[in-house]
Amino acid sequence: MIPFNKPYLTGKEIVYIEDAVKKGKISGNGYYTQRCHDFFEKKYGFNKCLLTTSCTDALEMAAILINIKEGDEVIMPSFTFVSTANAFVLRGAKIVFADSRSDHPGMDEEKLEALITAKTKAIVPVHYAGVACDMDKIMSLAHQYNLFVIEDAAQAIDSFYTGKDGIRKPLGSIGHLAAFSFHETKNIISGEGGMLVINDKSFAQRAEIIWEKGTNRSAFFRGEVDKYSWVDIGSSFLPSEIVAAFLWAQLENIEDIQKVRISHWEKYYNELQDWALKNEITLPVVPSYATNNGHMFYLVCKSIEQRQAIIDKLKSKDILAVFHYISLHSSVFNKTNNIIPELNQSDKYSDCLLRLPFFYELNIREIIEAL
Ligand SMILES: *Cc1c(COP(=O)(O)O)cnc(C)c1O
């Protein structure tokens, strides 16, 4: 049986977890949390990072930070995970769904401006499959209409965007805020886990407070205040040191993990060219401004029937391929709460996108031969 995903362990996870336990402090914001923060801030130049217990939590923090209130509108792609929307819905926002691009499941930047109203507060681009949205276009709209941009970078670790200025920027470093995931299905994992990136410095202090249950505990630990107390709303968004220690073992090996995953992706891409052409299947498109971070390998089939036939064929050979999101605009929840827009491209990806097995220890040959 070849699963769709298999979490990869570097071997050091248990060693660091044991060390964290021996250090005698296993709640959050300790030695390993700090190491992880430093790593990300140095490697990718993120202004400030806060580990969270999930990307969902990081998105919820973002919604609190930008003060989402009842009736505010937030624009995001329909073809995304529920958390992208839920985080803002929890604070009373109305979600305005954007269609996907015809060449890529990411949202169509050209169709965004028409969705902006006086109530729009933020745009949430999702870098699907780790492939960048065209951030120059999104940031310039945000600037023009005074909106916040929160990157859902759950799948986008170690991926980049090169805009008009020719500078290669890491995804997660461009919006005011960004959220990453370390769920076991992502490139770098800690079981459940995530991170909020704060690029707009004006959010830095409040982010720490929200992270620590609405208290100024972080400032207290740094000796900046002589006691800590309740100063704002917040929750327990920080992971324990056990999770951070696991994550550190992964981060130490990020170069190797990325090299292997990208080489898997390229093997799929190169070896499936003829097969795809013959079967009228579209292989993933990576626009020239984006990079591929080896997060996922997907096919866009010509019909839902063709997709089912491929799933069945692989299943008969004990290989698990899976489709992805039911577009949120056509979800049960949205149907009871919203008018349903017509989003043809989102529907296309809901019906026709198929993800092939993708993980570090995968033998690609076996899948290619089975197709
Ligand atoms: C995985 C994922 C999430 C949620 O991440 P969690 O860490 O499981 O909360 C959110 N958005 C996208 C696009 C994802 O792929």
Four-way CATH pick for 254-370: 1.20.1250.20, 3.40.50.720, 3.30.390.50, 3.90.1150.10: 3.90.1150.10
pLDDT at 350 over 80: yes
pLDDT at 90 over 90: yes
Distance 89 CA to ligand 1 centre (A): 16
- Residue 298 pLDDT: 98
Q: Is 137 a catalytic residue?
A: no
Q: Which of 358, 6, 2 is nearest to 184 (CA)?
A: 6
Contact present, 153 and 171 (Cβ < 8 Å): yes
Residue 240: pLDDT band with limits 50, 70, 90: very high
Mutate to test the pocket of ligand 1, among 131, 150, 151, 181 (most ligand atoms within 8 A of CB): 181
Atom index in ligand 1 nearest the CA of residue 58 equals 9
- Residue 201 pLDDT: 97
Mean pLDDT over the full length of the chain: 96
Give ligand 1 pocket residues (Cβ under 6 A): 54-56, 80-81, 83-84, 126, 152, 154-155, 181, 183, 194
- Residue 237 pLDDT: 98
Both tokens assigned to 352: 């026709």
CATH number of 13-251: 3.40.640.10
Amino acid (one-letter) located at 20: A
Q: Active site residue: 23, 186, 278, 335, which one?
A: 186
- Of 31-35, 109-113, 220-224, which gets the smallest average pLDDT? 220-224
Distance 280 CA to ligand 1 centre (A): 30
CB neighbours of 17 closer than 8 A, spacing ≥ 6? 242, 245, 246
209-231: pLDDT as tens digits? 999 999 999 899 889 999 999 99
Q: Rounded to an integer, what distance in angstroms lies between the CA atom of residue 238 and that of residue 243? A: 10
pLDDT average, residue stretch 172-201: 98
Atom index in ligand 1 nearest the CA of residue 186 equals 1
pLDDT average, residue stretch 264-272: 98
Burial class (CB in 10 A: 0-12, 13-18, 19+), 232: middle
- Residue 145 pLDDT: 98
pLDDT at 202 over 90: yes
178-190: pLDDT as tens digits? 999 999 999 999 9
Q: Rounded to an integer, what distance in angstroms lies between the CA atom of residue 113 and that of residue 95? A: 15
pLDDT at 98 over 80: yes
Question: What's the gap between Cα 311 and its chain centre?
Answer: 25
pLDDT at 126 over 90: yes
- Residue 340 pLDDT: 80
Residue 135: pLDDT band with limits 50, 70, 90: very high
- Of 62-76, 216-230, 267-281, which gets the smallest average pLDDT? 216-230
Distance in Å from the first CA to the final CA of the chain: 15
Q: Which of 321, 303, 302, 324 is nearest to 313 (CA)?
A: 321
294-347: pLDDT as tens digits? 999 999 999 999 999 999 999 999 999 999 988 999 888 887 777 788 999 999
pLDDT average, residue stretch 228-251: 97
**Domains of the chain, residue spans:** 13-251, 254-370
Hey, whose CA ends up nearest to atom 6 of ligand 1? 55
- Residue 30 pLDDT: 96
